[in-house]
Amino acid sequence: MARIGVFICHCGENISATVDVAKVAEKAGKLSGVAYSVDYKYMCSDPGQTLIIDAIKEHKLTGIVVASCSPRMHEGTFRKAAEKAGINPYFCEMANIREQVSWVHPKSDATTQKALDIVRTMVEKVKKNTALTPIKVPITKTALVIGGGIAGIQAALDIANAGHSVIMVEKKPSIGGHMSQLSETFPTLDCSQCILTPRMVEVAQHPNITLYTYAEVEKVTGFVGNFEVTIRMKAKSVDHSKCTGCGTCWQKCPSKKIPDEFNEGMGFRTAIYSPFPQAVPNKPVIDRDHCNYFQKGKCGVCQKICPAGAIDYEVQDEFLDVKVGAIITATGFDLKHADFFPEYGYGQFKDVIDGMMFERLASASGPTAGEIRRPSDGKIPEKIVFVACAGSRDKAKGIEYCSKICCMYTAKHAMLYKHKKHDGDAYVFYMDIRAAGKDYDEFVRRAIEEDDVHYIRGRVSRIYEKNGKLIVKGVDTLMNGDPVEIEADMVVLATAVIANQDAETVAQRMHISYNKHHFFAEAHPKLRPVETNTAGIMLAGACQGAKDIPETVSQASASASKAIGLFSSNEMTREPIVAVVNRQAPPNFTSCTGCMLCMEVCPYHAIEREEMKDRTGNLIKVAVKVNAGLCQGCGTCVAMCRNKSIDLQGFSNDQMLSEVMALLNS
Amino acid sequence: MRIGFYPGCSLEGSSKEYSDSLFAVAEKCGIMLEEIKDWSCCGASAAHNLNHDLALALPARTLALAEKQGFEEVVIPCAACYSRIAGTKQEISNNVATRKKIERYIDLTLEADIKILTVFEFLQKYIFPVADGHIVNKLNQKTACYYGCLYSRPKETAALEQIENPMEMDKVMVKAGATPIDWAFKTECCGAGFTMSRTDIVAKLSGKIIEDAADRGAESIIVACPMCHVNLDMRRPEIKKQLNKEINLPVLFITQALGLSMGIPADQLGLNKHYVPTDKVVTCIVKKEA
The reply to whether residue B164 touches residue A341, judged by beta carbons under 8 angstroms, is yes
Q: Please say whether the beta carbons of A344 and A388 come within 8 A.
A: no
The reply to whether residue B165 touches residue A343, judged by beta carbons under 8 angstroms, is yes
Q: Which residues of B touch A471 (CB under 8 A)?
A: 184
Q: Are residues B155 and B196 in the same domain?
A: yes
Fold match between domain A334-498 and domain A579-649: no
**Domain at A579-649: CATH code:** 3.30.70.3270
Domains of chain A by residue range:
4-128, 142-234+317-332+500-566, 248-305, 334-498, 579-649
Q: Which residues of B touch A341 (CB under 8 A)?
A: 164
Q: What is the mean pLDDT of residues B74-93?
A: 95
Q: Are residues B108 and B141 in the same domain?
A: no
Residue B193 belongs to what H/E stretch? none
Q: What is the mean pLDDT of residues B8-31?
A: 95
Burial class (CB in 10 A: 0-12, 13-18, 19+), A490: buried
The reply to whether residue A342 touches residue B165, judged by beta carbons under 8 angstroms, is yes
Q: Where are the alpha helices (DSSP H) in A31-130?
A: 46-58, 71-84, 109-128
pLDDT band at A11 (very low <50, low <70, confident <90, very high): very high
In a domain, B126, yes or no: no
Q: Are residues B145 and B275 in the same domain?
A: yes
- Name beta bridge partners: B44: none
Nearest to A147, CA basis, from A332, A318, A335 = A332
pLDDT single digits (tens) A320-349: 999 999 999 999 999 998 778 889 999 889
The reply to whether residue B188 touches residue A342, judged by beta carbons under 8 angstroms, is no
Single out the residue in B51, B82, B117 at which a domain terminates: B117
A646-648 and A579-581 as β-strands: parallel, antiparallel, unpaired? antiparallel
pLDDT band at A132 (very low <50, low <70, confident <90, very high): very high
Reported as half-sphere exposure (CB side, CA atoms, 13 A), residue A482 has a value of: 7
Torsion of CA A221, A223, A227, A230, to 10 degrees: 10
C-alpha–C-alpha distance, residues B204 and B189, integer Å: 10
Q: Where are the alpha helices (DSSP H) in A511-580?
A: 549-566
Q: Which of B162, B163, B184 sits opposite A464 (nearest CB)?
A: B184
Q: Are residues B144 and B36 in the same domain?
A: no
C-alpha–C-alpha distance, residues A481 and B30, integer Å: 50
Minimal-distance CA residue of chain B relative to A344? B164
Q: Which residues of A touch B149 (CB under 8 A)?
A: none
Q: Residue B215: which CATH number?
A: 3.40.50.11810
DSSP state of B123: I
DSSP state of A531: B
DSSP state of A97: -
Minimal-distance CA residue of chain A relative to B157? A396
Q: Are residues B77 and B160 in the same domain?
A: no
Nearest to A625, CA basis, from A584, A648, A592 = A592
Calculate how close chain B gets to A580, using CA atoms only, in Å. Answer: 46
In a domain, B112, yes or no: yes
pLDDT band at A538 (very low <50, low <70, confident <90, very high): very high
Q: Are residues B49 and B159 in the same domain?
A: no
Q: Are residues B96 and B166 in the same domain?
A: no
Q: Are residues B106 and B173 in the same domain?
A: no
Neighbours of A472 (CB within 10 A): 24
**Which pLDDT value is given to residue B46?**
85
CATH superfamily of A334-498: FAD/NAD(P)-binding domain (3.50.50.60)
**Which pLDDT value is given to residue A572?**
85
A4-128 belongs to CATH 3.40.50: yes
C-alpha–C-alpha distance, residues A210 and A156, integer Å: 10
DSSP state of A481: T
Handedness of CA A580, A586, A592, A594 (dihedral sign): positive
Average pLDDT for chain A: 95
Q: What are phi and psi of A664, to 5 degrees?
A: -70, -30
CATH number for A142-234+317-332+500-566: choose from 3.50.50.60, 3.40.50.2300, 2.60.40.2230, 3.10.105.10: 3.50.50.60
- Name beta bridge partners: A491: A352, A385
**Which pLDDT value is given to residue B290?**
65
pLDDT single digits (tens) A348-358: 899 999 999 99
Q: Which residues of B touch A468 (CB under 8 A)?
A: none
Domain count, chain B: 2
Minimal-distance CA residue of chain A relative to B158? A396
Nearest to A328, CA basis, from A575, A549, A520, A546 = A520
**Which pLDDT value is given to residue A341?**
86
pLDDT band at B196 (very low <50, low <70, confident <90, very high): confident
The reply to whether residue B184 touches residue A462, judged by beta carbons under 8 angstroms, is yes
**DSSP symbols for A261-297:** GGGTTSSEE-SEE-SSTT-SS---EE-TTT-HHHHHS
Single out the residue in B62, B90, B117 at which a domain terminates: B117
Q: Please say whether the beta carbons of A99 and A139 come within 8 A.
A: no
The model's pTM is: 0.80
Residues of A near B (Cβ–Cβ under 8 Å) read 341-343, 395-396, 462, 464-466, 471
Q: Which residues of A touch B215 (CB under 8 A)?
A: 466
Q: Which residues of A touch B188 (CB under 8 A)?
A: 462
Q: Where are the alpha helices (DSSP H) in A85-184?
A: 109-128, 150-161
C-alpha–C-alpha distance, residues A560 and A432, integer Å: 34
| pLDDT over 90 percentage in chain A | 89
Q: Are residues B220 and B105 in the same domain?
A: no
Reported as half-sphere exposure (CB side, CA atoms, 13 A), residue A237 has a value of: 20
Nearest to B253, CA basis, from B55, B34, B23, B21 = B21
Residues of B near A (Cβ–Cβ under 8 Å) read 155, 162-165, 183-184, 188, 212, 215
Minimal-distance CA residue of chain B relative to A471? B184
**Which pLDDT value is given to residue B194?**
87
Asked if omega into B154 is within 30° of 0 (cis), the reply is: yes
Chain A to chain B, count of Cβ pairs less than 8 Å apart? Answer: 19
Tell me: pLDDT of B24 over 90.
Answer: yes
Q: Are residues B150 and B223 in the same domain?
A: yes
Nearest to B195, CA basis, from B204, B186, B208, B187 = B204
**Which pLDDT value is given to residue A604?**
85
Residue A44 belongs to what H/E stretch? none
In a domain, B65, yes or no: yes
DSSP state of A560: H
Single out the residue in B61, B93, B117 at which a domain terminates: B117
C-alpha–C-alpha distance, residues A461 and A170, integer Å: 39
Neighbours of A449 (CB within 10 A): 9
Q: Please say whether the beta carbons of A181 and A363 come within 8 A.
A: yes
- Domain ranges, residue B74: 3-117
Minimal-distance CA residue of chain B relative to A465? B184
Q: Are residues B152 and B235 in the same domain?
A: yes
Residue A588 identity (one-letter amino acid): N
Q: Are residues B259 and B137 in the same domain?
A: yes
Calculate how close chain A gets to B100, using CA atoms only, in Å. Answer: 29
Q: Which residues of A touch B162 (CB under 8 A)?
A: 342
In a domain, B127, yes or no: no
| pLDDT over 70 percentage in chain A | 100
Q: Please say whether the beta carbons of A166 and A203 come within 8 A.
A: no
Q: Which of B155, B212, B215 sits opposite A396 (nearest CB)?
A: B155
Q: Where are the alpha helices (DSSP H) in B216-253?
A: 226-229, 236-243
What 3-state DSSP class applies to B41?
Answer: coil
DSSP state of A616: T
Beta carbons within 8 Å of A560's beta carbon, 6+ residues apart:
A143, A154, A155, A156, A158, A159, A162, A328, A540
Q: Which of A342, A395, A465 sits opposite B164 (nearest CB)?
A: A342
Helix axes A653-664, A109-128, angle to 10 degrees: 150
